[in-house]
């Protein structure tokens, strides 16, 4: 029986997860809010790290013990301060992953040790953030962790209208909360080829929220600025933080309202006039960010020597693509049909889950030798040995996985037996470099 796979889209603002088991996909609900989107946030309470909605619900008690947008801190060495205590970024990320993993195990009715986590296309093979994310997931109890680029996952997500078909050349436009990612993908029959990708680490919905927050603060004649900077008097740090959080929430709410209306308003403080925003004003604020995303796509196409006219379709995913201006701008910029994901916020996790159904388990047989005692090696690209799956002296069958490796590109492979036998001696330990030229074990083949 194939082991269940925990699939997670670790997002800047929100995360989402699914379990793939027996060919079925189940999205994981946040237990307190009942949503499939989990806030990527933590709150320190009595020495324990709470994650998700539980953290958001408690943040006003002590805003200094609350932190969100953890993904943007990956790769930094400085500790994150929660109250009076500093935490490594990895530990906070582990808390979020662990919360989703625990809920996934309840849904699956069993323990889960294998995972597929999505990452921005900007996380190259040597990027420290890849290692930190794997380490955080392992600390949450996931023994086998594979990373999948977010634009690649997005290609497998359901879209509105006619989906891509084999032979299509698809430009993925992924405008999320913290980053922008794009990829050029050739659709195949069951498997897709990623021709190239690019990303902007500092261009996401959060950056638009920051511009909205500044605009809201300025539009109140300084009253919100006074409240949010604690100028009302000494000892108001917590009150000022609460106001900042409220203003940020208001900015996001206004943005979301304008996805299907032309004017929105929200009350920020009881004694302050409601904040009002029109779709035109939002689009003006968003224009510099959207222009950067289009330029990023154009640079990718140019680097691959592909003309916009060669594209079959542009697929848009990510919560920020709910803005009507996105489809209009992208369609005008490339002159090709634009297809939006059925659910832009869940497209990456849905696509990653579909990918995991058919791609998460990959096997390579041992190179054949003569019968009897033999040295085992496998035709693989360079990587690291994660662990042996069959103990010394235990008989294995033909095709049975003997060891698991993570290649330098982040993919997970199982090294399988080409004949029945048993391992008599291992020549490589966990963490050792593996390649097609290295012998990994001595076996007695039957």
Whether residue 1 has pLDDT greater than 60: no
Q: Which of 126-140, 224-238, 250-264, 397-411 is most confident?
A: 126-140
- For residues 118 and 289, what is the distance between their CA atoms, to the nearest angstrom? 23
Q: Report the topology of domain 362-445.
A: OB fold (Dihydrolipoamide Acetyltransferase, E2P) (2.40.50)
- Is a pLDDT exceeding 90 seen at residue 329? yes
Query: Residue 132 has what pLDDT?
Result: 95
Q: Give mean pLDDT, residues 107-111.
A: 93
Query: Which CATH architecture fits 5-155?
Result: 2-Layer Sandwich (3.30)
Cα 378 from Cα 440, distance rounded (Å): 8
Angle at alpha carbon of residue 365, lines to 360 and 366, rounded to 5°: 135
What confidence score (pLDDT) does residue 210 get? 84
Q: 71-85, 90-104, 354-368, 385-399: lowest mean pLDDT where? A: 354-368
- The verdict on domain 159-341 having CATH code 3.30.420.40 is yes
5-19, 214-228, 268-282: which range is least confident on average? 214-228
Q: Do the beta carbons of residue 153 and residue 175 sit within 8 Å?
A: no
Q: What is the sign of the dihedral through the CA atoms of 419, 423, 429 and 431?
A: positive
Do residues 416 and 440 lie in contact, with contact meaning Cβ atoms separated by under 8 Å? no
In whole angstroms, give the CA distance from residue 25 to residue 350.
9
Task: Please give the torsion angle defined by the CA atoms of residues 39, 327, 350 and 146, in that order, rounded to the nearest 10 degrees.
Answer: -80
What is the predicted pLDDT for the residue at 234? 44
Give mean pLDDT, residues 105-109: 93
What is the pTM (predicted TM-score) of this model?
A: 0.78
pLDDT surpassing 50 at residue 108: yes
Domains of the chain, by residue range, sit at: 5-155, 159-341, 362-445
Q: In the structure, how many helices (H) and strands (E) does the chain have? A: 10, 27
Beta strands in 131-177 (DSSP E): 144-149, 169-175
b or e along 42-52 (b: 16 or more beta carbons within 10 Å of the residue's beta carbon)? bbbbeeebbbb
- In CATH terms, are 5-155 and 159-341 the same topology? yes
What element of type H or E holds 323?
A: none
Average pLDDT for the chain:
86
Residue among 426, 417, 204, 216 nearest 320 (CA): 204
pLDDT digits (tens, 9 = 90+) for 393-421: 899 998 899 999 998 888 899 999 888 98
- Judged against a pLDDT cut of 80, whether residue 366 lies above it is answered with no
pLDDT recorded at residue 229: 55
Backbone angles phi, psi at 424, to 5 degrees: -105, -25
């Amino acid at each position: 029986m194939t082991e269940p796979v925990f699939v997670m889209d670790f997002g800047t603002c929100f995360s989402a997860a699914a379990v793939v088991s027996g060919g079925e996909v189940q999205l994981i609900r946040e237990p307190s809010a009942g949503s499939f989107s989990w806030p990527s946030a933590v709150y320190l309470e009595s020495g324990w790290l709470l994650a998700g909605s539980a953290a958001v619900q408690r943040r006003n008690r002590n805003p200094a013990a609350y932190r969100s947008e953890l993904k943007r801190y990956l790769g930094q060495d400085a500790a994150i301060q929660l109250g009076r205590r500093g935490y490594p970024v990895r530990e906070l990320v582990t808390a979020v992953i662990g919360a989703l993993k625990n809920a996934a195990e309840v849904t699956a009715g069993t323990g889960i040790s294998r995972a597929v986590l999505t990452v921005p296309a900007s996380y190259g093979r040597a990027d420290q953030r890849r290692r930190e994310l794997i380490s955080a997931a392992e600390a949450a109890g996931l023994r086998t962790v594979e990373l999948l680029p977010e634009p690649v996952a997005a290609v497998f997500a359901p879209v509105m209208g006619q989906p891509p078909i084999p032979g299509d050349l698809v430009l993925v436009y992924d405008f999320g909360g913290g980053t922008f990612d794009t990829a050029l993908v050739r659709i195949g029959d069951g498997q897709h080829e990623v021709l190239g990708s690019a990303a902007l680490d500092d261009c996401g919905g959060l950056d638009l929220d920051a511009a909205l927050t500044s605009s809201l603060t300025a539009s109140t004649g300084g009253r919100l600025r006074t409240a949010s900077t604690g100028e009302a008097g000494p000892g108001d740090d917590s009150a000022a933080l609460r106001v900042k959080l409220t203003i940020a929430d208001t900015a996001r709410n206004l943005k979301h309202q304008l996805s299907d209306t032309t004017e929105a308003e929200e009350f920020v403080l009881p004694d302050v006039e409601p904040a009002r925003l029109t779709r035109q004003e939002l689009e003006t604020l968003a224009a510099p960010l959207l222009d950067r995303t289009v330029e990023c796509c154009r640079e990718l196409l140019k680097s691959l020597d592909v003309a916009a006219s060669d594209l079959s379709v542009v697929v848009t995913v990510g919560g920020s693509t709910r803005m009507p201006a996105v489809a209009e701008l992208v369609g005008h910029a490339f002159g090709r049909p634009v297809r939006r994901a059925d659910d832009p916020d869940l497209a990456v996790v849905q696509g990653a889950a579909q990918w995991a159904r058919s791609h998460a388990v990959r096997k390579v047989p041992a190179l054949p030798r003569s019968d009897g005692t033999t040295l085992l090696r496998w035709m693989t690209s360079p990587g690291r040995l994660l662990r042996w799956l069959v103990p010394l002296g235990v008989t294995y069958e033909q095709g049975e996985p003997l060891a698991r490796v993570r290649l330098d590109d982040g993919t997970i492979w199982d090294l399988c037996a080409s004949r029945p036998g048993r391992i008599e001696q291992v020549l490589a330990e966990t963490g050792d470099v593996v390649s097609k030229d290295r012998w990994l074990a001595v076996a007695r083949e039957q």
